[in-house]
Structures are given as structure tokens and as C-alpha cells.
Structure 1
């Protein structure tokens, strides 16, 4: 009997880019696990999920989708693609079908992220300007990456990729965790997403859960070995 090792697709969240997965990519590559870390447009839940689904669809063979933060909402929808065999949530939102990020967050005390968001406008071809958000640069280290080297956080703070504000109100068109196995890593000291939001979503999905005490939202940067270990478990279980 031959088995095919699933390809891992790493989906970054808001205020970051695919480089945030660098340490995790290196760990997986050392294990011979095929991995792809595509750009996430960060323009809206439906459009971004469709983009990630298209990435999965062009991979020949099974796929494990891994989503960090807002990326968790995307893999929840994109994970319905036929070749997706598992979902891994890393300090992430785990939505139910018909639920929005705002609705899920609203059930719990707000994190410090909310009061430290800055709003900007960006042009939309053929329509009025839209709103996007970033984290205030001076608040970024404590809110997003408190356990990351300060020299690195200073770079990350000015290299943020903004998220379209409309993404908070869009609802998930599907919940792939209802039919696909899932794993979740909870960042115990997360100040961008309330860890209770992460725990609630993971429990509701029936995910296999690992919690890292003291881990910030940027857990893939600060603790890539632990993140890769959970992904490795998912790959082994689905391969």
C-alpha cells in the first residue's frame, strides 16, 4: 500500500505575510514534508478563502491547510475542497457556518488589539474607497509579538499587511471542520485574539488541542518548533 504525504499549505493572517512562517517552513522541510506558503490577499473572507481554495486545488494530492489568526477563518471555508484532508488552527479563529469574526469575538471580552487598531482607506477600482486596519506601530510588539526578539518586532511592526475592515463582518459560507479532522494550537498569552476565543472555537470543532503557556499571537515566529510539531501530527494522521 502506497501513501502520499499531504502538502502543507500555510495561510498567514492579518498584519503579517508569508515570511512569518519561515521558521515553520524550515522545520517541515527538514522532515521532508512538502509545504507551500502563499500570499493571503487580506481583502475579505469570501474572496480570500476562494484564493486559498484555488491554491489547494492546483496541488496534486492531499492537502493539510494551516491557518494563523484570520487565516483560520479562511481554511474553515476553503477546507471544503475535495483534496483537503485536515485543518490546523494556529492562534486562530475557528468559525461556524454563517458566523462572522465580529460575532465570534463579541461573545468574549475584547483583546487589547481592538483599542490599538488604526484605520486607513484604500482605493477600490470602480467604487468608493474602502477601509483597512493595521496595529499601531508602538503597540505592535506588546499586542502581537510579546515573546519575539524586540529587534525583529520593530521590523514586523513597520512591515504589516493591512486587513480590510469588511472582513470582520462577512460570514463563513461553510465550516470544513464538520467533515475534516482538525488540530488547534492555543497561544496562552495571546493579546491579539482572546485565548478564550481560540479555545471555544477549537472545542466546538472537536479539534485536537495543544496550548502553549506564555505564547504570543506571533507563536509561529517565536516557537516554530512547537507549531511544526502539531502540523507534523496532522500530516501523519492524514497521510
Structure 2
């Protein structure tokens, strides 16, 4: 009799972070024998970033559980239509409807402190014309992004943050994989980057199995890796 295949967990980081933000979660998952990969997220636009994540997932042998943090949630919503993806896990994330943008989803609720603490930069766009990208102002980063993470760690995270192309806020999702794939969501109750009400509304709309951590910041994968990994393990067990 063929043994059930344990899905590979593909972790997608969001804006203002990198794949190292999953370090604690990766250690937890690996300690339970769960295969995991955490590729870089280009952070250049919803369609192109989702296509990249979909291509990574498609090249993995066997089933895949996609996990998205923050903006990464929007990407797994689209990339999750990939045939071998069997489940979606949203961690303090955007859960978009088909045809919806980040700006439209956020616009349903009061803005978080993130909006007034974004710093704009320019970079060469595809045609050589200047394009805009954003980071969080370094002095605001600890309170906005990682209020429950030790100060010495947040100072490093603030310096090392990766910018997001501003155009990503206006691009619309080409698909909503949660309509055909099971989903789970962790709501960070003290999130000051994505309003927790945005997370609750979108997770409920998607019919996700929801867990809420009352005092968790947006950087919940850094501050509460065991809790995040536990939800991912629930998804892995349910889809194996």
C-alpha cells in the first residue's frame, strides 16, 4: 500500500522582509519531518511575483502547501491555482478576491499606521523609466511591523528590509485559489501594518479555518514561530 505523501511547505515572505523571516518556522517544521522551501519573493508586482511562486511550486515533486505572509498572501491566492497546490495558509496576510487589488481590500477599513510611515524610493523600471518602491521608515519600523520582537532584532530587520514596488498595491488578482483549495489563516490581533479587521474579513470571506493571536504583531512568524508552524502543520495533516 502506498504511503501518503507529506506535502512540501512553500513559504512566501511579504514586503519589507526576506526569506530569513521564516527561520524559526522552518526549524519547527523540519523538526517534525516536514519538507520546506522558502524562495525569495521578487516584490516587483502581483502578477509577476505570483507567476514566479507558481513556477517554483510547479517544479516541486508531489503536493505543495503554500504559505503567504502579508503581501505573500496575495501571491499564494493567485499562484495557488497551480495543479499540485493542495492547501493555502495565510499568516497576517492579504486574502484577495479575484479581480481585487490590495488597495481595494484595504480601502474597506480604516488605514493602519503603515500608510503614513512609508518611505518612497525610485528604481529603474522595465523600460528604463523610474518606478516607485516603498519601505517603512526605519524609526517607525519596530512599532509598525514588529512591536513584539526584541529591539536588537527589529533594528536589524529595519535596516535589511526589502522594498515593494508601489504598483503592487493597484494590480488585481487574476484568480482566487481559495475558491477551490482549502485554506487556513492566522490573524495577528495587534497588527499595525495590516489592520486585523482586514485579515478577519478576508479570511472569513475565503471560508478559511482561522486562528487569532491577540497580542501578535505583523512579524508574527518571527515572534511566534511555534504558533505559526502549528497552523501550517494542521494544513499539512489535513491535505496529506
TM-score w.r.t. the length of structure 1 is 0.99
Aligned twin of 2:78: 77
How many residue pairs get matched?
Answer: 239
| Residue of structure 1 in register with 2:142 after alignment | 141
Q: Give the equivalent residue in structure 1 for 2:25.
A: 24
The SS at the match of 2:129 is strand
Q: Distance in 2 between matches of 1:65 and 1:126?
A: 32
Give the whole-Å Cα distance in 2 for the aligned partners of 1:125 and 1:169. 17
State the partner residue of 2:118.
Answer: 117
**1:203 equivalenced with 2:204 (yes/no):** yes
1:127 to partner: Cα distance: 3.2
Q: How does 1:96-115 map to 2 (within 5 A)?
A: 96-115=97-116
Aligned residue number for residue 236 of structure 1: 237
The equivalent residue for 2:40 is 39
Partner of 2:164: 163
> The residue matched to 1:170 in structure 2 has which SS?
coil
Q: Distance in 2 between matches of 1:155 and 1:125?
A: 30
Superposed structure 1 runs of 4+ greater than 3 Å apart: none
Deviations 1:188-207 (A, max 9, x none): 00000000000001000000
Tell me, in whole angstroms, the C-alpha distance in 2 between the residues paired with 1:121 and 1:110.
24
Separation (CA, whole Å) in 2 of partners of 1:126 and 1:172: 24
Give the equivalent residue in structure 2 for 1:127: 128
- TM-score, normalised by the number of residues in structure 2: 0.99
Cα distance in structure 2, aligned partners of 1:61 and 1:125: 35
- What are the ranges of 5 or more consecutive residues in structure 1 without an aligned counterpart? none
Q: What is the CA distance between 1:172 and its match in structure 2?
A: 0.0
Q: Does 1:65 align with 2:90?
A: no
SS of 2:201's equivalent in the other structure is helix
Q: Distance in 2 between matches of 1:82 and 1:203?
A: 24
1:96-155 Cα distance to aligned partner (Å, 9 max, x none): 000000000000000000000000100124231100000000000000000000000000
Distance 1:109 1:126 in 2: 35
Name structure 2 gaps, 5 residues minimum: none
In 1, distance between residues paired with 2:42 and 2:87?
22
RMSD over aligned CA atoms reads 0.5
Superposed, 1:183-222 pairs within 5 Å as 183-222=184-223
Deviation at 1:6, TM superposition (A): 0.1
Secondary structure of 1:127 counterpart: coil
CA distance, structure 1, for counterparts of residue 114 and residue 127 of structure 2: 32
* CA offsets 1:63-89 (integer angstroms, 9 cap, x no match): 000000000000000000000000000
Give the SS at the match of 1:184.
strand
